Copies of this chain bind each other. A is one copy, B any other.
Amino acid sequence: MSVVTRRDEQAARTRERIVEAAVDAFAERGFRGASTRDIASRAGANQGLITYHFRTKDELWRAAADRIFGMLRTSLIARLASSETEDPRERAREQIREYVRYAAAHPELFRMMIEEGKDGGERMQWLVDTHVRPMYDEFVRSADLGDGGFDSSLLPHFHYVLAGASSLIFAVAPECRRLTGLDPETEAAVETHAEVVARLLVP
């Protein structure tokens, strides 16, 4: 049947570069603000290639979203498996710390959630159904186990408290630097933020 040629590999690499450039561009400027010409330029490729590999800007956006959320999922799963402590509260804290560390390393995710979540458009619906709901279900499950189960009607509130408290400082890192003088992207700041959030949510 099909044979993987050198040309196929080169094309796959080009496609990858475009997706990575798209992740950055969409996170920085949003769907409308990012232009396919700019994305192609960042990837060192031609604008026509975007049409060739992805057909439309919308499909390119979906490929970028797949990449962002796929990375989060594998990262969280890896850490969950390697947890060593027995105390359920300390385990919950470590999970929160890991979530904060990911938010620091990948502010794109939070920016994309805000960008699309604020309106009820098709991209938001696709994002929720495809990527956010599986993660939210996991959050609900671990919250139920971890704390002996509190009023489940509070879970949506806790979810958005956790997400907002963990991510905002990294999503607006340039603002944080100018406003407070603190660079939230240093490792020390990330660990401090992780500890603050973990201790507030699991006292």
Contact = CB atoms under 8 A, between A and B. Distances in A.
A203 B202 CA distance: 11
B164 A196 contact: no
A75 interface: no
A119 B132 CA distance: 25
A70 interface: no
B179 A128 contact: yes
A168 interface: yes
Interface in A99-149: 107, 111, 113-120, 124-125, 127-129, 132-133, 136
A83 to B, nearest CB: 23
Interface in A60-87: none
A166 interface: yes
A128 B201 contact: no
A6 interface: no
A154 interface: yes
B200 A161 contact: yes
A156 B180 contact: yes
Contacts of A28: 118-119
Contacts of A32: 29-30, 32-33
Given A30-B30, A165-B164, A159 B172 contact: no
Interface in A157-191: 157-161, 163-169, 171-176, 178-182, 184
Contacts of A22: none
Nearest to A182: B156
A112 to B, nearest CB: 11
A93 B182 CA distance: 26
A154 B172 CA distance: 17
